[in-house]
Chain A
Amino acid sequence: MQFADTVAVLRCIPVFAPLDPPSLKLLAFSSSYLTLLDGEVLCREGEPGDSVYIVQQGALDVVVTHEGREVLIATLGQNDLFGEMAMICNLPRSATGRARGPLQVIKIEGDVFLQLVTGNADAALGVMRVLSERLMRLVVKYEQLQRSSDAALPGRGAAPSGREC
């Protein structure tokens, strides 16, 4: 994939879209394009979360180890993001990413992204907006789940709801 194509991909991804065009180009230029074979590990749980991956072709299994066993929590497809939370919060990776079949991803350097975002107030606000929207959706989903579980278990008290996020 050429540099110009990467710019186009980044432009359609909500987290990166708020960046101004020169920053976006710089981010694309500093990124790398990775190719993985079936079963190859992209990054491991517990490693420092210093980069974000954007799936381009193929599928990426997200796996966590729980009590010694591997649990598949998601499979990501084209233009899905992997690792953005760990990067923004500066946390170790909470899951392992592994290729299911041949996989191609764009690797964005986390520190480059953070420097570009923090250097531009509009971009920072844009990223915050995207993340907040996502959080909002999760909260809504959580409440729905809570309500349905409360309905299934009538003995328990109502979950605290309407909490501001």
Chain B
Amino acid sequence: MEDTLFKYIKRYSWKQQLLITFLTVAYFPFLYASLELPKTIVNQAIAARDFPRTVYGYSFEHVPYLMILCGLFLLIVAANGGFKYYINVYKGQLGERMLRRLRYQLFSHVLRFPVPHFRRTSQGEVIAMITSEVEPIGGFIGDALAQPMFMGGTLLTTLGFMFAQDIVLGLAAVSLYPLQIYLIPKLQKQVNALAKQRVRTVRRLSERIGEAVSAIEEVHTNDTSEHHRAEFAYWSGIIYGIRYKIYRKKFFVKFLNNFIAQLTPFFFYSIGGYLVIRGQLTFGALVAVLSAYKDLSSPWKELLDWYQQKEDARVKYEQLVEQFRPADMLDPQLQEPAAADRLSGPVVVTNVSLQDETGVRIVESATFRFELGERVALLGGTGSGIDVMAKLLARLLVPTSGTICFGGDNAAQLPEAVCGQRLGYVGQHVALLNASIRDNLYYPLRNREIAAIAPKDEAEEIDQRTSRLEAEVSGNTLSDLAGEWIDYGRIGLSGPEELKARAIDLLGFVELEPDLFALGLKRAIDPTEHPNLAACILEARVVLRERLTQPMYAGLVEIFDKAHYNRNMTVAENLLFGLPVGATFDLDRLGDHPYVQQVLDEVGLRGTFLEIGLHAARVMVDLFKGLPPGHEFFERFSFISSEQLADYESAVRKATAFREDLDPADRGLLESLPFRLVAARHRLGLIDQTVEGRILEGRRAFAQGLPAELHTAVAFFDPDAYNPAASVQDNILFGKLVYGRPQAQAEISQLIADVVGALGLRAEIVDLGLDYEVGIGGSRLSVAQRQKLGIARVLIKQPDLIILDQATSALDGPTQQVLFDRLMMKERSGSGLVWTTGDVGCANRFDRVIRMEGGRVIRSGPVDAVAEPAAQPAAASG
């Protein structure tokens, strides 16, 4: 990146700036004409009397002459506007393109920062710099040359016109400019210093905000919100102070400017008036000069604004460049596409030392070697430097001195294509993208776009071409995010299907498959998108139903049956006999819907519902009124919230006293209660067989009379159709687990797993689980799940060397052991393994042990050579 803003502008936009300049110059004759013409109209068309007049051989009468001149004036005004419009749009476009380029370059720089640099640069700062700080720079770039050209040109044209009218008047107009040119930069310098300070302080503020957000749990568990508020107030107070000073100075500059501009007309009226009276100046000329002066003050003002903007942008640019040039940035060449050949030969670490930013040596003169296919233990306790050594081997850190060579190639010079594809590293904290599990798992395979996506039609092709062109002129990458990124051949696969199979296999390997199966069962799918799967699920439903007739499953599930009331569903679900799609028939507010009320009226349930509601409300009020508001029992057991309890209490009182005159709000409140009752669970004895029968009638009436426009609002339960509103599991089950059967959940889950397995559907459902969104940083997965995914993610790219640094620390003991055993099986992975551990006992199982202490390698060699006779205290194993 260039040192100064103007060098940057020159390098990336000189052609466009030239075009703008050309357009601006081309605009001036029109501008001059638009100033000249009014004078001609006043002096020659309105005031003159010598008509008819001959122009270019044509003869004109007085009025037609005036009209033609006015028409000409109109044309010139229109051309003027057109020029201005075009120039403005072009400038805006240029500014936006340059902004895009600048942001892209800054972001590219971030991707090349040395990893330790992020210990000093907070996320908040980087985001603030790339998003908000560059914005005014982009806005300025469009104006960088055009504005001074345009406004300067306008100024000169106007001045030229004025001087042409009268030299004295021209001099009068510019008489105070030297004063302004002297004063304003002096004041601006102070503003600049403040602007620099402001940028720095805003960064500090965004750093503080970022810190509070990422440490939100600490804030809550330590009751330190006030501390953070005070800290925020402190920094925002400083920013306020700086900004206030900037405003005062900036507006003082403006004030000075305005005052001087208002001073000039004084000269016109006095000197110009004097000249007209003396007959040395025509009246028309004075009018024209006065109107030209009006035009003069605005470009002058804008020129000064431009100057202020320029200074502001310059300061920001210089500060950005300074921040985005840390020492030891990765050579951009290393991130270029390169052949990622398999690594081979021994890994040789020679005299490697690493100093941190304070100059402390964390690793000192480490020398050892191992073969690429070997299983290597990096053995040592806390502070031994094994974690740093793991990062050095993965080239996340670059040694301060010494070399790490893979088969003779110095790691520091290896392209990232090799390091990133042939080496695999998993640390303790696995960072996941805010995307699906699948996207996270395939993430290491998305190195480069290998084929563009074929456009579907001409319109799409044009779209594609425009966006490519636009990316090109902004210096952005031409890779299309929507294109094909996975090179299946590289990992020895034929296509997406085989990759899916490998992914599922790997998920089993890291013990994540059962979790994904459970997640997949909970997903709802659109049967039009997955017709085969939906058909198979229906088949599973039939098989399951058959299995449920076996005595051991008797009475565990109450199957959906249109002709029978389901005592394990709510009244609302029973009435609907389906699931709502969208908010129209929201089960919690079903009673509010006019159509539902109409159905209840039809089958004569309104009164019954009021009775049931009143009874249920009495019980609820009686049970829960003694509890403090917000008590957890409300959430767990009540179907009235603690906030509503008082309303229900009063409704019950009123309903008991005068049933007939109950106001509609209270009535609605009570009538809404029965919808939430589950007969088998609440056991209030309120839904007897008569009521059940009526609800069944209501169910039929609801389905029959459903207006056409509401058809899409319910997905009815149909034994032969897939229900798109229900989860896969509920579609297989097609019923409700019965309340009061302690083992129902476990037995039926197992049964579903069996049926799904027997039909060969398990992989499909795991595949659905792969679409589960993991949330920001993977927050919707447990730490253990994240670690498992992290290991699967490194295995999928089949690296030549896998480096695991505490990569299984969050897993429970048995799972850690299982994964350790599996990863140690050489034939399985075919790649070398480096494993950090503090456990001497497990180190015996490796081919080679490198023992570190205090940043030094104290022993290294085949496991027998470094075996310790006495047992060392075992630290946590990796």
Q: Which residues of A are in contact with B by a Cβ distance under 8 Å?
A: 1-4, 6, 22-23, 25-26, 29-30, 32-37, 40-43, 107, 112, 115
Among candidates A3, A34, A37, A112, residue contacting B683 with C-beta atoms closer than 8 Å: A3
Among candidates B626, B682, B684, B742, residue contacting A42 with C-beta atoms closer than 8 Å: B742
**A112 touching B681 in the complex, CB below 8 Å, given contacts A22-B622, A32-B740, A34-B740:** no
**Does B865 touch A at the CB level, under 8 Å?**
no
With a CB–CB cut-off of 8 A, which chain B residues contact A41? 742-743
With a CB–CB cut-off of 8 A, which chain B residues contact A2? 683-685
With a CB–CB cut-off of 8 A, which chain B residues contact A6? 683
A22 to B633, CA, bound (A): 14
**Does B555 touch A at the CB level, under 8 Å?**
yes
**A25 touching B623 in the complex, CB below 8 Å, given contacts A3-B685, A6-B683:** yes
Interface pair B685/A34, CB less than 8 Å apart: no
Q: Which residue of A lies closest to B551 (CB)?
A: A37
Among candidates B551, B554, B624, B741, residue contacting A34 with C-beta atoms closer than 8 Å: B741
**A26 touching B683 in the complex, CB below 8 Å, given contacts A32-B739, A36-B742, A41-B743:** no
**Does B637 touch A at the CB level, under 8 Å?**
yes
Interface pair A25/B622, CB less than 8 Å apart: yes
With a CB–CB cut-off of 8 A, which chain A residues contact B633? 26, 30, 112, 115
Interface pair A29/B681, CB less than 8 Å apart: no
With a CB–CB cut-off of 8 A, which chain A residues contact B636? 30
CB neighbors of A among B584-641 (8 A): 619, 622-624, 626-627, 633, 636-637
Interface pair B742/A1, CB less than 8 Å apart: no
With a CB–CB cut-off of 8 A, which chain B residues contact A30? 633, 636-637
**A33 touching B741 in the complex, CB below 8 Å, given contacts A26-B623, A26-B624, A26-B633:** no
| Chain A contact surface mostly | mixed
Closest 9 CB pairs of A and B: A2-B685, A34-B740, A3-B683, A30-B637, A26-B623, A33-B740, A22-B626, A2-B683, A3-B684
A107 to B743, CA, bound (A): 13
29 contacts between A and B (CB under 8 A): A1-B683, A2-B684, A2-B685, A3-B682, A3-B683, A4-B685, A22-B622, A22-B626, A25-B623, A26-B627, A26-B637, A29-B619, A30-B633, A30-B636, A30-B637, A32-B681, A32-B739, A32-B740, A33-B740, A34-B741, A34-B742, A35-B740, A35-B741, A36-B741, A37-B552, A37-B555, A41-B742, A41-B743, A115-B633
A1 to B623, CA, bound (A): 19
Question: Within the complex, what minimum Cβ distance (angstroms) separates A112 from chain B?
Answer: 7
* Mask of B730-748 contacts with A, CB within 8 angstroms, 1/0: 0000000001111100000
With a CB–CB cut-off of 8 A, which chain B residues contact A32? 681, 739-740
A37 to B739, CA, bound (A): 14
Q: Which residue of B lies closest to A51 (CB)?
A: B742
Interface pair A37/B740, CB less than 8 Å apart: no
Interface residues on B, range: 20 to 34
With a CB–CB cut-off of 8 A, which chain A residues contact B626? 22-23
With a CB–CB cut-off of 8 A, which chain A residues contact B682? 3, 29
A115 to B623, CA, bound (A): 15
Question: Within the complex, what minimum Cβ distance (angstroms) separates B676 from chain A?
Answer: 14
With a CB–CB cut-off of 8 A, which chain B residues contact A107? 742
With a CB–CB cut-off of 8 A, which chain A residues contact B742? 34, 36, 40-43, 107
A70 to B741, CA, bound (A): 24
A3 to B742, CA, bound (A): 19
Q: A23-B626, A32-B681, A37-B554 are in contact. List 16 more A-B contacts (CB 8 A).
A: A1-B683, A2-B685, A3-B682, A25-B622, A26-B637, A29-B619, A32-B739, A33-B683, A33-B739, A33-B740, A34-B741, A35-B555, A35-B741, A40-B743, A41-B742, A107-B742
With a CB–CB cut-off of 8 A, which chain A residues contact B685? 2-4
**A29 touching B637 in the complex, CB below 8 Å, given contacts A34-B740, A42-B742:** yes
A37 to B553, CA, bound (A): 10
Q: Which residue of A lies closest to B738 (CB)?
A: A35
A37 to B633, CA, bound (A): 31
A35 to B685, CA, bound (A): 18
With a CB–CB cut-off of 8 A, which chain A residues contact B740? 32-35
With a CB–CB cut-off of 8 A, which chain B residues contact A25? 622-623
A77 to B636, CA, bound (A): 30
A34 to B683, CA, bound (A): 12
With a CB–CB cut-off of 8 A, which chain A residues contact B624? 26
* Mask of B541-558 contacts with A, CB within 8 angstroms, 1/0: 000000000011011000
Q: Which residue of B lies closest to A4 (CB)?
A: B685
Question: Within the complex, what minimum Cβ distance (angstroms) separates B253 from chain A?
Answer: 70
With a CB–CB cut-off of 8 A, which chain A residues contact B637? 26, 29-30
A22 to B621, CA, bound (A): 10
Q: Which of A3, A25, A29, A37 has the most CB of B within 10 A?
A: A29
**A29 touching B623 in the complex, CB below 8 Å, given contacts A34-B740, A34-B741:** yes
Q: Which residue of A lies closest to B628 (CB)?
A: A119
A41 to B739, CA, bound (A): 16
CB neighbors of A among B732-774 (8 A): 739-743
Q: Which residue of A lies closest to B739 (CB)?
A: A32
CB neighbors of A among B635-652 (8 A): 636-637
Q: Which of B619, B633, B681, B683 has the most CB of A within 10 A?
A: B683
With a CB–CB cut-off of 8 A, which chain B residues contact A23? 626
A34 to B738, CA, bound (A): 10
A22 to B622, CA, bound (A): 7
A43 to B626, CA, bound (A): 33
A26 to B623, CA, bound (A): 5
A112 to B627, CA, bound (A): 12
A37 to B747, CA, bound (A): 13
With a CB–CB cut-off of 8 A, which chain B residues contact A36? 741-742
CB neighbors of A among B250-273 (8 A): none
Q: Which residue of B lies closest to A30 (CB)?
A: B637
Question: Within the complex, what minimum Cβ distance (angstroms) separates A98 from chain B?
Answer: 11
Q: Which residue of B lies closest to A106 (CB)?
A: B740
A42 to B554, CA, bound (A): 16
With a CB–CB cut-off of 8 A, which chain B residues contact A43? 742
A43 to B622, CA, bound (A): 32
A34 to B626, CA, bound (A): 28
Q: Which residue of B lies closest to A3 (CB)?
A: B683
Question: Within the complex, what minimum Cβ distance (angstroms) separates A27 from chain B?
Answer: 10
* Mask of B166-183 contacts with A, CB within 8 angstroms, 1/0: 000000000000000000
Question: Within the complex, what minimum Cβ distance (angstroms) separates A5 from chain B?
Answer: 9
Q: Which residue of A lies closest to B685 (CB)?
A: A2
A117 to B637, CA, bound (A): 18
Q: Which residue of B lies closest to A53 (CB)?
A: B742
Q: Which residue of A lies closest to B627 (CB)?
A: A26
With a CB–CB cut-off of 8 A, which chain A residues contact B554? 37
CB neighbors of A among B532-571 (8 A): 551-552, 554-555
With a CB–CB cut-off of 8 A, which chain A residues contact B627? 26
Q: Which residue of B lies closest to A115 (CB)?
A: B633
Question: Within the complex, what minimum Cβ distance (angstroms) separates B620 from chain A?
Answer: 9
With a CB–CB cut-off of 8 A, which chain B residues contact A42? 742
A136 to B155, CA, bound (A): 108
With a CB–CB cut-off of 8 A, which chain B residues contact A26? 623-624, 627, 633, 637
Question: Within the complex, what minimum Cβ distance (angstroms) separates B501 from chain A?
Answer: 38
* Mask of B680-710 contacts with A, CB within 8 angstroms, 1/0: 0111110000000000000000000000000
Question: Within the complex, what minimum Cβ distance (angstroms) separates B30 from chain A?
Answer: 85
Q: Which residue of A lies closest to B747 (CB)?
A: A40
Question: Within the complex, what minimum Cβ distance (angstroms) separates A20 from chain B?
Answer: 9
A30 to B639, CA, bound (A): 12
Q: Which of B627, B740, B742, B743 has the most CB of A within 10 A?
A: B742
With a CB–CB cut-off of 8 A, which chain B residues contact A34? 740-742
* Mask of B715-741 contacts with A, CB within 8 angstroms, 1/0: 000000000000000000000000111
CB neighbors of A among B382-438 (8 A): none
A164 to B836, CA, bound (A): 57
Question: Within the complex, what minimum Cβ distance (angstroms) separates B565 from chain A?
Answer: 17
Question: Within the complex, what minimum Cβ distance (angstroms) separates B147 from chain A?
Answer: 72
Q: Which of B554, B619, B633, B684 has the most CB of A within 10 A?
A: B633
Question: Within the complex, what minimum Cβ distance (angstroms) separates A105 from chain B?
Answer: 9
With a CB–CB cut-off of 8 A, which chain B residues contact A22? 622-623, 626
